[in-house]
């Protein structure tokens, strides 16, 4: 019985020591996924921006000038 209690005590200490490290690793992975998603969205926005820059000037809408 004493051996079993010692084994549980060692497992409890190991869990207390590993919990913060495992939490931090999971948090880092989540942040990495968010950064990759944001970078993918930014590159997609750049591609659509390039397509817009390639428009002909005649296809753009014109607004009358109010400067006098």
- The C-alpha atoms of residue 14 and residue 18 are separated, in whole angstroms, by 6
pLDDT at 64 over 60: yes
Number of domains within the chain:
1
Structural domain contains residue 3: yes
> Does the structure show a pLDDT above 90 at 2?
yes
Is position 35 within any domain? yes
pLDDT digit string (tens) for 7-63? 999 999 999 999 999 999 999 999 999 999 998 888 777 777 655 555 555 655 666
Asked, for residue 57, whether it belongs to a domain, the answer is no
Residue 22 lies in a domain: yes
Would you state the pLDDT for residue 52? Answer: 54
Establish if 48 belongs to a structural domain: no
How far apart are the C-alpha atoms of 20 and 26, rounded to whole Å?
Answer: 10
For 24, other C-beta atoms within 10 Å of its C-beta total 10
56 part of a folded domain = no
Q: What is the domain extent for residue 36?
A: 1-42
* pLDDT above 70 as % of the chain: 72
Residue 18 lies in a domain: yes
Q: What whole-number distance in Å separates Cα of residue 37 and Cα of residue 45?
A: 12
Quick check: is 21 in a domain? yes
Residue 27 has a pLDDT of 97
């Amino acid at each position: 019985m004493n051996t079993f209690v010692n084994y549980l005590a060692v497992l409890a200490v190991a869990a207390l020591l590993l919990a913060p490290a495992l939490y931090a690793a999971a948090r880092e992975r989540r942040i990495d996924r968010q950064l990759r998603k944001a970078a993918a969205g930014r590159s997609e926005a750049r591609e659509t921006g390039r397509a817009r820059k390639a428009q002909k000037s005649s296809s753009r809408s014109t607004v009358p000038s109010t400067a006098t």
